[in-house]
């Protein structure tokens, strides 16, 4: 199975997409590929879309799962900013649930 997740600085613009390949039910993805864009919305990039399809096909995924929204900030806690803090680059997501987009404050 392949999973596709989009991330961005707000709920309107995606700048990162990650595709994971899950080989066995109940397990974490064994293979993960990520694409980024600096400008525009990666969801509208035909070249990235083609690369995603090729990646999924190359791993012989039988199904693809994704949600209908951007799942939060494209930056990684502990890598792009310190653990336990909020991303300084994406104020939109501060105090917001990444799954629903609703304010949690």
Decide if pLDDT at 105 tops 70.
no
Residue 102 lies in a domain: no
Decide if pLDDT at 56 tops 70.
yes
What is the largest distance, in Å, between two alpha-carbon atoms of the chain? 43
Compute, in degrees rounded to 10, the torsion defined by CA atoms 56, 76, 93, 42: -40
Averaged pLDDT for residues 34-59: 97
- Plot region of 12 (φ>0 → left; ψ -120 to 50 → alpha; else → beta): alpha
Residue 53 lies in a domain: yes
Residue 21 lies in a domain: yes
Give the structural domain span for 24: 2-93
Reported as type and span, the H/E element at residue 55 is helix 46-58
What does pTM read for this prediction? 0.90
Q: Determine the 3-state secondary structure of 38 from DSSP.
A: coil
Mean pLDDT of the chain: 93
Domain count, the chain: 1
Q: Which of 42-46, 72-76, 101-105 has the lowest mean pLDDT?
A: 101-105
């Amino acid at each position: 199975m392949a999973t596709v997740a989009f991330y961005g600085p707000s709920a309107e613009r995606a700048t990162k997409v990650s595709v994971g390949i899950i080989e066995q039910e109940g397990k974490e993805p064994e293979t993960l590929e990520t694409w980024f864009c600096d400008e525009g919305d990666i969801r509208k990039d035909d070249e990235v879309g083609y690369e995603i399809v090729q990646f999924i096909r190359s791993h012989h995924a039988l199904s693809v799962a994704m949600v209908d929204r951007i799942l939060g900030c494209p930056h990684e806690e502990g890598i792009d900013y310190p653990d336990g803090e909020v991303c300084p680059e994406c104020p939109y997501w501060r105090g917001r649930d990444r799954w629903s987009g609703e304010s949690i404050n």
